[in-house]
Amino acid sequence: MQRIILFFFPEINLEGTSWKTLWDQEIYRERWRKSYLLLGITGAVLLAHHWLVDAFVNPVPAENWLWYRIGYGSLGIVLAAVVYLSQSRNSYIVSLPVLFYYIGLTALQTMTIHWDSRSPVLFTVLLPFMYLSLGAYSMRHALFFYACVVCSQMVIVSWYENDYVGSGAVLTSSYLVLFVAVLMTSNSYSQKLKNFILRQKYSEKQADLIKHQKSLNQYLRGFLSKEHYLRLKSLSSSGESILSSIEKVFRPEMKMIACIYSDVRNYTERSRNEDNLFINGVMPNISELTGIVDNNRGIPRLVGDLIFSYFDFNEHEHSLIYALRSAAMMKSRNIELNKKLGIKPIERNFVVCSGEAMVGNIGPREHAREITALGSCVNLGHRLDDYAKTNRSIPPSSIIVSSSVKEFLADRIDYHELEEISLQPNSVKDFPELTFIYVIPNEKTLDKAINDYIGGNTSVENRGSNAA
C-alpha cells in the first residue's frame, strides 16, 4: 500500500523536511518555462500551418479548419503570453492552461479526421505524446491527461457513428503509445524528485561539514596564535590535510627572528603581600599585552607572569619592525592599564633582541606540543631583563634593545632617540662581550617612527603574505 501511495504521490518523501518549498519553486520554474514555450510554439505552428499548408491543400469544410487553425492558434499565443507574464508562484496555475489546451487540441485534431479523410491520423497520437514526453509530470497528472484524451476521442468516435478510419486499430495503438508516454513522464518526474532529494541531502551534509570545519577552526584558534592559525588556514585551503599543515607549520627550523622578553618586576614578593594580584592585575595585563603581539602577527608564549614573543617573517626586517612596534604599543597599554585597574602599578620592561634561533615545536610530536624559540638572542633577552631589574640607571617599564636592534633603528628607520647604557665587563651573565645596551625613553616617538616607516613601505604593510 505504501508503494502504491508513493507511486501516485511521490512528494510525500518531502514531508517533514524543509525542502518542500524549494521543490515547489524548482518545479514551478521548469513548468513555467515549458508551458509558455509549448503554448507559444504550438500556437505559432497552427497559424503557420493555415497560411503555408491549408491555403494550398484546401481542406474541407473550410470554415471548420479556419476557426480551428486561426482560433486555436491565436488562443495558444494568448495563453503563452499570459503564462509568461504571470506573477504566480504556483506550479499548477502555470501548468493547467497548457494541460487543458492540449486536451482540447487533441480532441479537435481527432475531429479533423472526420472533417477531411486526408488529415493524418498520426497527429491524434503525436500531439498528446509530445505534451507528455516534453514535461515531467506526476503519475496522477499524467493519468488525468491520459483519461481526458481517451474519453474525448471515444466520445468523438461515438458522435460520428464510428466512421473513424481504422478506428479500432488506431485507438488501441494510440492508447498503448500514450500509456507508455504516461509511464515515461511519471518516471521522469519521480527520478527528478529523487535527484532533488539527493542534492538536498548532499547540501545538508556539506553544510554540516562546513559547520564542523568552522567549529574546528574556532577550536584551533583558541589554542594557537593568530599567525600560526593563519598559516595553517592558508595551507589547508590550498589542499593540504590538517595534519600535514600542522606538521609543516610547527616543524622546527633555524630562522632569523626578533623577540620580546617582558617579565613583571617583583611579582613573587608582591603576590605574597597583595591579595588577588594575579586576578585583578596580572591576568588582565597579560591578556591585553599578548593581544597586541597577536594582532601584530607575533607568536606569544606565556610562562607565569612572563610574556615571551617572537616574530619570524621571511623578511627579517619585517620581524624587527613589528617586534619594535609591539613593544611600543605594549608599554603604552601597560601605562593605561595601571591607571585603569586602580592597583599598585605593574612594572615590566620590554626587551627587544634579534638573531638566529630554532623555532617551532620542540615538544614530542606524538602528544603535547611546545611551540617556542631557542637561541642566543632569546637568552640575551632574559639576561638583559635580569640586568635591568637590578640596575637603577634603567627606569622601570623601559624598552631595552640590543646592539643589533639599535643598528637597525639607526640605519633603516633613521631613529636615534636612544640612551646608551655602558656596561662593566661581565655585567650580563653569559654575555661577557656586551659593552652597551640601549634604552628607548619615549615609546610614542618610536611608535610614530615605526608607523611612518610602515606607511611608506608597501611590502612591510602587507607582511602577512610574506610570513612563512
For residue 412, what pLDDT is reported? 86
Per-residue DSSP letter, 344? S
pTM of structure: 0.59
Letter string b/e over residues 390-421, b meaning 16 or more CB atoms within 10 A of that residue's CB: eeeebeebbbbbbeebbebbeeebebeebeeb
pLDDT for position 466? 39
> What is the mean pLDDT, run by run of 10 residues, along the chain of 468 residues?
74 83 84 90 94 89 92 94 78 82 92 85 87 84 91 82 53 80 88 92 88 75 82 82 83 94 86 82 91 93 89 93 95 92 87 95 68 92 89 86 93 88 84 90 90 77 46
**What pLDDT score was predicted for residue 461?**
59
Give the residue extent of every domain in the chain: 2-205, 252-466
| pLDDT at residue 261 in the model | 95
Report pLDDT for 167: 53
Backbone conformation region of residue 15, classed left if phi is above 0, alpha if psi is from -120 to 50, else beta? beta
Q: Where on the phi/psi map is residue 397: left (φ > 0), alpha (ψ -120 to 50), or beta?
A: left
Nearest by Cα to 141 from 3, 31, 1, 2: 31
Q: What is the pLDDT of residue 18?
A: 83
The DSSP H or E segment spanning 421 is strand 419-422
| CA distances to 63, 164, 311, 424, 449 from 443, in Å | 102, 105, 19, 27, 10
pLDDT at residue 405, as a whole number: 94
Residue 89: the pLDDT is: 63
Beta bridge partners of 352: 260, 401
Report whether 310 contacts 357 (CB < 8 A): yes
CA 450 – CA 318 distance, rounded (Å): 11
Tell which CATH architecture fits domain 252-466: 2-Layer Sandwich (3.30)
- Tell me which residue of 386, 466, 391, 402 sits closest to 440, measured CA to CA: 402
Q: How would you classify residue 16: left for phi > 0, otherwise alpha for psi between -120 and 50, otherwise beta?
A: left
